[in-house]
Amino acid sequence: MTENEMFKLMNENPVFHLATVDGDQPRVRGMLLFRADKNGIIFHTASTKDVFAQIKKNPKAEMCFSGGGVQLRVTGVLEQVFDDKLREEIFSHPSRAFLQAWKDNGIDNLLQVFAMKSCTAVTWTMETNFEPKKPVSIC
């Protein structure tokens, strides 16, 4: 799978699972991708969530996307993004209408944006189940 095919899979299947660490305990939860490209894999959460505290304490993470019989695992480092233009893009995107209440109620500072950088991706399919993993640097 090429780098562009990986980004296409992520963007077409925006629900992913994010693994972080809480002390010595792994934590996994479903998340919603905003976008993925060579500049990073962008998503957001609230500053009140446990995942936010976990990322701030240890920014190493792994994401797992799936679609079309392919599982794509992406490992990297999460960086907090402080970009007002990107925040506004997220708030105004049709797929993020649920966030508008935060803005309307003056609690838009809850929105915290992250980008996964230094990404390495591996794919898995039933056909390649026992083959060695071939990590690909994608962002």
CATH number at residue 117: 2.30.110.10
Residue-level pLDDT at 109: 93
Residue-level pLDDT at 99: 92
- In this structure, what token pair is assigned to residue 81? 């993004």
CB 79 within 8 A of CB 114: yes
CB 10 within 8 A of CB 36: yes
Output b/e per residue, 15-38; b: 16+ Cβ within 10 A.
ebebbbeeeeeeeeeebebbbbee
Residue-level pLDDT at 73: 98
Residue-level pLDDT at 118: 94
Residue-level pLDDT at 44: 98
Domain that holds residue 27: 3-137
pLDDT tens figures, 27-84 = 999 999 999 999 999 999 999 999 999 999 999 999 999 999 999 999 999 999 999 9
CB 44 within 8 A of CB 111: yes
Residue-level pLDDT at 56: 97
pTM of the model: 0.94
d(CA 22, CA 121): 23
Residue-level pLDDT at 83: 97
Structural domains of the chain, count: 1
Residue-level pLDDT at 51: 98
Residue-level pLDDT at 11: 98
pLDDT tens figures, 79-99 = 999 999 999 999 999 999 999
